[in-house]
Amino acid sequence: MITVDHKSDAVLLPIYGRMVPFNVTTIRTVLGNQNTIRVIFNVPGTHLNPNDSLTNKDAIYLKEVSFRTKDSRHSSDVVQQVKSLRRKVMARESERAERTSLVNQEKLQIARNNSKPLSLSNLWIRPPFSGRKKNRGTLEAHVNGFRYSTTNERVDVLFANIKHAFFQPAEKEMTTLLHFHLHNHIMVGTKKTKDVQFYVEVMDVVQSLGGRRRSSAYDADEIVEEQRERDRKNKINMDFNHFANQVNDVWQLPQFASLSLEFDQPLREFGFNGVPHKTSTFIIPTSSCLVS
């Protein structure tokens, strides 16, 4: 019986009465229907084989093997297990390769207990951490960098690694945000990135229209709700602005003189439409960059 060994990242195939293990990275794909399972391997001459130039040209390679079964449920289960294991292993190897190319950075120096760090709470992060469950986190400013942490994830952004820092209050946008463009890549969960953004949605993107009830411009409930949203947006903008100003004061200290850092703010009145990549977008200048 074909068996998947998740602990050893291997698939065991019965060949001539023996259970032969194959590492899942040697498998190119696996196909199956109600009574057949086909396992296709990476062999020399295929574009998916990364070690083509290192292989022995005189050797004989197993290209494909097929099995018949009367148990259709087992057939589909094996195919799904092999595909799932292959995706997991390939993602792990890709993340490992990306981590090896990262530039080593100093460790974050945590603020002392008697000095509470500057912080913003209930923030989202882009790029998001991997996994289905997304949690909000807290951004804290420590001695030499920022730390964003949720209940089970965290990421550090050091001051020395920040090339540009932006603060954008919510005006015509749905979010208030802090954005960091970095000198060197960092890992956010399993993603390698040079741009990290922390933001809060100032109002609900989707709003209930109250069923069949027709709302009016003079509806007291609508007016109260709009005022509540304006108050929430103003408070979020003020909190972010206060945080950015305090961090700017920290960056003016003598030990950070070589960084020349300060939160830049987009100048919306000088914005224009353009196509920087593939789609049209509204581009806004700052003192040193064009952002969107």
| pTM for the full predicted model | 0.71
pLDDT for 49 equals: 55
State percent of the chain over pLDDT 70.
89
pLDDT interval class at 114 (50, 70, 90): low
Coil/strand/helix, residue 155: strand
pLDDT for 186 equals: 92
pLDDT digits (tens, 9 = 90+) for 38-95: 999 988 766 555 555 555 667 788 899 999 988 888 888 889 999 999 999 988 888 8
Q: In angstroms, rounded to a whole number, what is the distance separating the alpha carbons of residues 218 and 269?
A: 32
Coil/strand/helix, residue 100: helix
| CA-based nearest residue to 200, from 160, 264, 165, 243 | 243
Question: Amino acid identity of 20?
Answer: V
pLDDT digits (tens, 9 = 90+) for 251-265: 998 888 888 899 999
Of 45-59, 93-107, 108-122, which range is least confident?
45-59
- For residue 126, how far is the Cα from the chain centroid? 6
- Chain-wide mean pLDDT for the chain? 86
| CA-based nearest residue to 233, from 186, 171, 152 | 171
pLDDT digits (tens, 9 = 90+) for 222-231: 788 888 888 8
* pLDDT top residue among 87 and 216: 87
Q: Decide: 197 and 240 in contact? Cβ < 8 Å.
A: no
State percent of the chain over pLDDT 90.
48
Phi, psi of 166 (to 5 degrees): -125, 140
